[in-house]
Structure formats: C-alpha cells, structure tokens
Structure 1
Amino acid sequence: MLSSAGLALRRWASGCQGGRRTLATVISGNKTSQLVRERLKKDVEKMRKEVPGFRPGLVVLQVGDRDDSNLYISMKLKAAAEIGIDANHIRLPKSSTEEEVLSCIMSVNENPAIHGLIVQLPLDSVHRIDTEAVTDAVSPLKDVDGLTSINAGKLSRGDLGQCFIPCTPNGCMELIRQTGVSVVGKNVVVIGRSKIVGAPMHDLLLWSHATVTTCHSKTTDLPDHVGRADILVVGAGRAEMVKGDWVKEGAVVIDCGINHVPDDSKPSGKRVVGDVHYSSARERAGYITPVPGGVGPMTVAMLMENTVQSAWRFVRRQQSG
C-alpha cells in the first residue's frame, strides 16, 4: 500500500501529460475556517442549552492604536460575534506603563465571566514594556493564544491535552488534515523558530509523530533540507524566499508568511505575498496554501476554537465542584 506521500507523487506523475503537470491543489483557509466557525457555533449553542444563560467570554487587550492591530482585532471580534462568544475589546492608551498593563491583565484573570484573554502584539506604548512579562501574566487557564511559558512548556513535552496550542500552528495542522495526508512518520521541515509560529509548530508536529527538522537564518544548504520535505511549513518573514524548484514533488506546502511588496498595478502600490514563491512552488507541490486566504483565516478560527475549549473546561470545573 502506498503512503500518503507516495500517493501524492503518483498524483503528480499521472498529471504529467506532454511535459506538463497538474498544478498543486490549493488548500483554502477561507473555506476551512468557515467550516470550523460553523462547528463552533453549534458547540456554543450546545453549551448554552446545557448551562442556560452562559456564554463564552473573550477579552482582547490592546495597548495603543496601531492601524494593523485595529484591523486584526476587528476580524477577531467579528468572528466571535458570529460564533456566539461575548468578546470585549479593552484599549489602553499609548501612555500606559507596564504596571498599568499588568494590573489590567490581573483584573481580567480574576473575572469568572472571561474564559479567554489575548494581548494584541506588538504593544504600542511610549514606555518600555517587557512583552514576555506581559504575556506570562495572562492566566494559563485563559491563555487562548497559547503563548505563556506554562502552555509552551506543556506543548514542548507533549502534554497536548493539557495546554492551549498557539493559533497559527494549530491552524496549519487543520489545513494539513484537509489534504488527507497524515503527518505520522513524514519528513517535515519547518522554516522559522519564532515563539508564535516556528517553535510551537515544531513541537506540535513532533508530538503528532512526524520527523521534524527546524531551519532558520543560520541553516546551511536550505534548499537541500526543503527538497527532502514531504510537508513544508514556512514562517520566516521573508518574501518569496522559498523557490519552487526547492520543493519536493508532491509535497504539502503551508505558507505562514505575510509580506508586502511593491506593485504599481495595485491602488495601494503594494501586494501581499507569502514566504514561498507561490506560482513556481505550485508547479511542483501536491498541495499548497495561498497568501492571502490560507493560514491567516485559520489563525482567527483557532483563536475561537481555543476560547470555546476554555469555556468548556470552565463549565466542567464548575460542574465537578
């Protein structure tokens, strides 16, 4: 019996006709995230029937007034409203000190009506604020971004059922599942080692039984590593750095990059591209995510997933006394 990677390779071979091959199947984050939202909406309805008057509560804490942060927050609030989550946006002024931010976090931690708390990054304050200290101040029970040291530590040692998995890696896993390709035993390459994407992505794949290689800015012969990957996840923050001819035939390519490059044909004078050169990679991959419309929508969907999960955990703790 052929492995999933073997099936993808056969799919590639069968698509070759007269020197041309079938382009990779596009994995739509827009469609997949909508499926997740519909499932979560039903889950919240079930929760409210079980506990009349109850609603999952989410707080998005923002410091300052960055335009990009405002856009991301509006997307999160819209998704929460659609699902039935009671979401609140707390915006602190740019003049806020670290002590004031920590005080606000402590207040939310103590509020039993709030089941998820995220701190919108980057912090936009005129004062120097320790981002890690702020992130770690969030209660691990409400850390639906999965960024506290406690949740990161649990993930790193494989306690997947006892932590919140960071939203972008969790979304990447959902997109991989949509292909039907199992990660078990596969050679997976992750490019990037950030605390938000690369590092937790490595841990999540490892404990999902993949063989994982993490590449970064100091990695030598990056194309060689990429060429051996059955599954490739890229979160390096460099526009179109991964070229199509690096990609293994039939591989699953998940592009987490969001980069703005000049484009005079656009009214804004720029366009959004990923970390993978999409058009050339699509000629070799078996499956690929687009940018935009790939990983981005899944990050928001997984934030909602974690918030609903946190609310269920709260309900079960209350029921158990």
Structure 2
Amino acid sequence: MRFLSTTLRRRLVSLSPQLPSLTSAVGLLCPRKYETERAGRRRSASILGPDLPEVWKHLESSSPVIHSPSSNHDHNGSNPTIIDGKIIAEDIRLEIASEIRHMKDLTGKVPGLAMLLVGKRRDSESYLRHKVKACEEVGITSFSAELPEDCPQDDLLNIVSSINEDPSIHGILVQLPLPKHMDEERVLSAISLEKDVDGFHPLNVGNLAIRGREPLFVPCAAKACIELLLRSGVELMGKHVAVIGRSRVVGLPTSLLLQRHHATVSMIHAHSENPASITREADVVISAAGVPNLVRRNWLKRGSVVIDVGTTPIEDPESEDGYHLAGDVCYEEALQVVSAITPVPGGVGPVTISMLLSNTLDAAKRARGFS
C-alpha cells in the first residue's frame, strides 16, 4: 500500500506521538466490462422500498376469508437455492467500479475511505483486510489505522475529527466492536454525518425510522440483507419476516428497512418467549444473534427463505486465520426444509462489504456534486 499524503500523515501524527501513522491503498480498477443492464436492475430495486399510502382495506363481514396457498408451502425441502453472496457482490462491484472510472475520467478524483481499528481481534483484522482488498478492486483509495487495545478514547476521537475535515476522504468506518473502555455511541456520533458510510449516526438511523424521510446512508449489513432478497426475487410486501437479534448494526436497521418494504416484521431477542414458534410462522427468517447453530430445523417453516448474518469466530487451528466463521443457523438441518438460504461464509458478508463501497461512492458523489 502507498503512504498517505504528507499533509494528512503530519496532521494525524501530530495528534499524539504514540498514534500509528495511517497507510493507504490506491485501488486498481476492476478490469471487467460494466454491464448496463445490471446497473439498471440495481437502480430499480430501491433499498428503501415503495412509499405506499397507509390505506386499510375493509372486508365485509359476510365475505368469507379465503387463504390462497403459498408456493413456499409446496416446497418439499429438496434442492433449495443457495443464495451466493459472492456472485451478487461481484455484480455490485462491477457497477461501482464503472461509476468510479467515470468519476475519475470527468473529475480526476476517486472516492476515499478511512478505516480505523482498535485492538488486535483476529476477526476484525481479517474483516479490515477484506475491505482494503475490495477498495483496491473497484478503485477506492483506502486509508487504514490500527490503534492499540489500550488506546485512550480521546486519541481515536482526535483521529476521527481530523478525517472529518479532510476533503480527500469521503467515508469513515470504525471497526466494531470497540474495547470496553470506549463509548461506542460517542465515537460513532463523532463521525461527520456526510461521512457516516456505516450508517450508524443517530440522524441516519432516525431518518431511516421515519417514513417519508431518507437517511444519507443505510447500515451496510441491513442493506445487504435486503439487497440479497431483492436480487433473489423474494417478495417482501405483506410477507411475515422474523428478525432474530435487535442490534444497532443489523437487527434494528433491518427491521426498519423491512417495514419500508411493507413486510410484517417480528423482532426476536434474548427475552422473547417461544422464539421457535414465532420463526416457524415466518416466510423469511433473518438471523443476526451471533449465536452459532441457534436456529434449528424445528424453528423453520417449510419453504421459508433464510438469511444468516451470523459470523461468530470459532477457534480452528487448521484454518489459515486460526478460526472459522459459524452462522446462527444450523445449515445442514435448514437445507432439509427451506427454499433458499445464504451460506456462512460466502453469503451476507461479501455483499455487506459491497454496500460499504456503494455508500462510499455515494458519499463522494454527494461531496463533489457528481451524478
């Protein structure tokens, strides 16, 4: 990776003599040809969903209620569709790379993304490497800083403040979780609203929650879940969707997005009674609890669609990274009953990174008045 410009390096180093210098990765443009029809599909599939009026349809009391059988109920559990996040992510990155090439041709500039990591969690370090590589593939200039576990919170806040003022950086990502001595809310709120490409700023979350308003950015993992469903042709309007886990990173924003798509949403958390009986009624199950193999076969309705966001690192000496990722859903059991499912890894993860790239591109376009 190339080094940051001298000005930026001097500014950040001057904040604290103990802070590490940032490094940058100037990305290589994706060599594959841009496919305009894919871009058209992406633009037409609005992540925020249709804005429909809240008009109730009243049935006459004498009219019988007839429930038409869903095609999902006819699914016999054989040959379920594996929703390949790697392929979908590749399509999205081709679109992003083409837009960045166009931006560079017209302005001579490309988007910049700063990524900050505190501590030495192996899974977080691995995620950061994947994000740096993804930036390189599409042509985004990435800047990364790794701070020690015992780094004072003020040092991190000073770095965020400095990057907020840097016009060459359009997005800021603070890798979560932060060490326990740090206040996540304060750190995330310190990121400029216009550079909050993770979508966690209170104003972005608030605007996501209010119909008729649009956040500048939607949280990447939640956005990925909806993108996977839309690109897989899953109908959301009127469907029952069970969201397991209510974190600010996935569960909460995903439930808000689903409501914008007019789904009927059940939120399941650690204090829910009879969670299996709730999910068993759902057409779509999105699990982001972070509990390996929490969702078993008896939690799932036959023919349902499962999006497994779980990525719990499990110690594995035979793995190159020293661990492997385990999903929330017992995959082999789910294959016996579902109509479609995302694998772990290779499902939600790659698309989540692509959503980060997409948000960064949007931030750069907004900053430069580029359309």
Q: Please report the TM-score for the alignment, with normalisation by the length of structure 1.
A: 0.88
CA separation in 2, counterparts of 1:294 and 1:5? 29
Quote the residue 2:235 is aligned against: 182
Quote the residue 2:48 is aligned against: none
RMSD: 2.4
Describe the superposition over 1:77-98 as per-residue Cα deviations: whole angstroms up to 9, x where unpaired: 1100110101111223444322
Describe the superposition over 1:87-128 as per-residue Cα deviations: whole angstroms up to 9, x where unpaired: 111223444322221111111011111110011122348xx2
CA separation in 2, counterparts of 1:269 and 1:90? 23
CA contact (8 A) 1:155 1:163 kept: no
Structure number with bigger Rg: 2
Quote the residue 2:147 is aligned against: 92
CA contact (8 A) 1:5 1:251 kept: no
1:123 is matched by which residue type in structure 2?
A: L
Deviation at 1:6, TM superposition (A): 2.4
Partner secondary structure for residue 88 of structure 1:
strand
CA contact (8 A) 1:151 1:164 kept: yes
Deviation at 1:266, TM superposition (A): 6.9
Describe the superposition over 1:196-221 as per-residue Cα deviations: whole angstroms up to 9, x where unpaired: 01111111111121111101011111
Quote the residue 2:171 is aligned against: 116
Quote the residue 1:27 is aligned against: 83
1:189 is matched by which residue type in structure 2?
A: A
CA separation in 1, counterparts of 2:109 and 2:321? 44
Deviation at 1:162, TM superposition (A): 3.1
Q: Does 1:40 align with 2:96?
A: yes
Alignment of 1:127-276 (within 5 A): 128-158=181-211, 161-261=214-314, 271-276=324-329
Deviation at 1:234, TM superposition (A): 0.3
| Count of residue correspondences | 305
Change (3 A) 1:260 1:315: closer
Choose which of 156, 163, 168 in structure 2 pairs with 1:101.
Answer: 156
Quote the residue 1:6 is aligned against: 70
Deviation at 1:155, TM superposition (A): 0.9
CA separation in 1, counterparts of 2:169 and 2:318? 45
Partner secondary structure for residue 236 of structure 1:
coil
CA contact (8 A) 1:190 1:202 kept: yes
Change (3 A) 1:276 1:81: same
Q: Give unmatched runs, 5+ long, in structure 2.
A: 1-66
Describe the superposition over 1:222-276 as per-residue Cα deviations: whole angstroms up to 9, x where unpaired: 1111011111100111111111122111111000111345779879886432111
Quote the residue 1:280 is aligned against: 333
Quote the residue 1:77 is aligned against: 132
Q: Give unmatched runs, 5+ long, in structure 1.
A: none
CA contact (8 A) 2:115 2:172 kept: yes
Q: Which has the higher helix share?
A: 1
2:211 is matched by which residue type in structure 1?
A: G
CA contact (8 A) 1:4 1:181 kept: no
CA contact (8 A) 2:245 2:289 kept: yes
CA separation in 1, counterparts of 2:319 and 2:160? 41
CA contact (8 A) 1:27 1:178 kept: no
Deviates more, 1:113-122 or 1:260-269: 260-269
